[in-house]
């Protein structure tokens, strides 16, 4: 059995991410067709849209002018990238409480390798369920998840029950699932390649399996090798952790809003204990830098405060928390504590360069 068959990969994909953030922050937008993108009069394009807009045929990458012809009532909002980046950071913070093997594909999409994860006795399905629940509780947006033994199948699975869905392909189910899969769903197969395959009578992976590996290489070059592997459910690509960490943090969303500063301060020791355990997992190429505190108030407004030169003790975080709370003076639904990291490895590279 190949290594790809024993991995536990989760693919998380937020549902109409930008539009979901807009509807969350302005409830009056719910149930009406909206899109995020450029203005039609400036030849803009749609970045994403909600499902009400998709019912009219509006799609991502469509010209805004054409989208308005399909759906005259479509409201096109200008992107608020910082709000989307902040939501993405929160989601990735949730991911990191399960694994450090995270491959971000965009702000709203990522692969997670949870093969060695001990949460829920190592059940990738229950981990995916918990991630989906926590994202909803913390951010009030939905995500879809796919669980499979490799990246190729996990990505297909996350799309299988969208929106707000979870689909699992176990190792025992891989062969039957892939056999029925249209070749157009294979990773890397675009419209041109799909048409080329269809002309050869290849419509499903079952059809593709009738071809020998050498025949596919002859007709499709090096991609023929990849086609043969995917048709048999094989994908050896590891989850690529492609960036160094910039911070470590923990945060908690409380079932009942914390009414005042004193109630918030009571929660600090437990959060800092979790932060200390997470810091202990870092390798020696990082050094702790600035501490920071994040508060999300009951109305979903939030603030983050950090301070250069401050210590990392309970009193230091308590001081930051007090100042952050004073910015809102409202009940608190989420507290986060963390520390910015100094990457000693990048510093070493700079010294070598000069």
Active site residue 349: no
Residue whose C-alpha is closest to residue 144's, from 10, 240, 34: 10
**Catalytic site residue from 86, 109, 225, 306:** 109
Place of tokens 């939905």: 142
Q: Give me 205's structure tokens.
A: 């992976």
Phi, psi torsion values for 259, nearest 5 degrees: -75, -30
Check the annotation: does 108 bind a ligand. Answer: yes
Q: What residues does 290 pair with on adjacent strands?
A: none
Cis omega (within 30 of 0) for bond into 316: no
Q: Which residues are known binding-site members? A: 13, 108
Active site residues: 109
Q: Which residues are known binding-site members for Mg(2+)? A: 13, 108
């Amino acid at each position: 059995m190949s290594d790809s068959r024993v991995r536990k990969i989760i693919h998380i994909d937020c549902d109409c991410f930008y539009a979901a953030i807009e509807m969350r922050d302005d409830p009056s937008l719910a149930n009406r067709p909206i899109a995020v993108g450029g203005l039609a009069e400036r030849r803009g394009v749609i970045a994403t849209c909600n499902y009400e807009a998709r019912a009219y045929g509006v799609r991502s990458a469509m010209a805004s002018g054409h989208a308005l012809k399909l759906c005259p009532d479509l409201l096109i909002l200008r992107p608020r990238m910082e709000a989307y980046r902040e939501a993405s950071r929160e989601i990735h913070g949730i991911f990191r409480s399960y694994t450090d093997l995270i491959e971000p594909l965009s702000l709203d999409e990522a692969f997670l390798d949870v093969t060695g994860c001990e949460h829920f006795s190592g059940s990738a399905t229950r981990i995916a369920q918990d991630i989906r629940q926590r994202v909803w509780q913390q951010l009030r947006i939905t995500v879809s998840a796919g669980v499979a033994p490799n990246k190729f199948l996990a990505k297909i699975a996350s799309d299988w029950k969208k929106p707000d869905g979870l689909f699992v392909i176990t190792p025992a189910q891989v062969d039957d699932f892939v056999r029925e899969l249209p070749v157009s769903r294979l990773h890397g197969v675009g419209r041109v390649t799909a048409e080329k395959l269809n002309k050869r009578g290849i419509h499903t992976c079952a059809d593709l399996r009738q071809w020998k590996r050498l025949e596919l290489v002859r007709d499709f070059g090096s991609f023929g090798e990849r086609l043969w592997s995917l048709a048999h459910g094989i994908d050896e690509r590891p989850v690529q952790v492609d960036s160094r960490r910039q911070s470590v943090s923990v945060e908690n969303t409380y079932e009942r809003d914390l009414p005042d500063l004193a109630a918030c301060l009571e929660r600090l020791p437990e959060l800092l204990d979790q932060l200390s355990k997470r810091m202990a997992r870092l390798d020696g190429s990082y050094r702790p830098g600035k501490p920071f505190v994040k508060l999300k108030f009951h109305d979903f407004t939030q603030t983050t405060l950090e301070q250069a030169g401050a210590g990392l003790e309970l009193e230091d975080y308590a001081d930051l928390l007090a100042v952050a709370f004073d910015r809102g003076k409202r009940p608190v639904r989420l507290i986060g504590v963390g520390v910015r990291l100094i990457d000693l490895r990048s510093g070493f590279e700079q010294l070598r360069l000069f």
